[in-house]
Chains A and B, each alone.
Chain A
Amino acid sequence: MIDLHGYGPRLFEGALITVELAVLSLLLAVVLGLATATAKMSRHWWLHRLGTLYTTLIRGVPDLVLMMLLFFGGQIGINMFTDWLYYQFDVDIFINVNEFVAGVGTIGLIFGAYMGETFRGAFLAVDSGQIEAGRAYGMSHWLVFRRIRFPQMMRHALPGLSNNWMVLLKTTALVSVIGLSDMVRVAAEASKATREPFTFMIIVAVIYLLIASVSEWGFARLQKRYDIGYGEAD
Chain B
Amino acid sequence: MKIQKILSLGVLSAAMIAGVANAEVRDIRIGVDVPYEPMEYRTPEGELTGFDIELGNALCAEIGIQCEWVVQGWDGIIPGLQARKYDAIMSSMTINEQRREQVLFSDPYITPPSAWFAPADSEITTPDAESLEGKSIGVQRGTLQDNYVTDLYGDVADVNRYATADDMVLDMDAGRLDIVFLDFPIGKSTLLDSEAGNYKTVGEKISEPVKYFGEGFGIAFRQRDEELAQAFNEALATLKDNGTYEEIETKYFGE
Contacts and interface: CB of A to CB of B under 8 A. Distances in A.
A–B direct touch, CB within 8 Å, in complex?
Answer: yes
A227 interface: no
Interface residues of B, number: 26
Given A79-B83, A93-B5, A104 B76 contact: no
Interface in A163-195: 179, 192, 195
A179 B73 contact: yes
B11 A92 contact: no
A78 B83 contact: yes
B7 interface: yes
B82 A94 contact: no
Contact of A104 (B6, B11, B83): B11
Contacts of B72: 179
Interface in B1-33: 2-11, 21
A91 B7 CA distance: 12
B240 interface: no
B125 to A, nearest CB: 30
A71 B75 CA distance: 11
A176 B150 CA distance: 27
Nearest to B170: A192
B175 interface: no
Contacts of A88: none
A94 B9 contact: no
A217 interface: no
Contacts of A100: 11
Interface of B: 2-11, 21, 72-73, 75-76, 79-80, 82-85, 166-167, 170, 173, 224
Closest 3 CB pairs of A and B: A79-B82, A179-B73, A92-B4
Given A90-B3, A95-B7, A96-B85, 7 more contacts: A24-B11, A83-B82, A94-B5, A94-B7, A96-B84, A101-B10, A195-B170
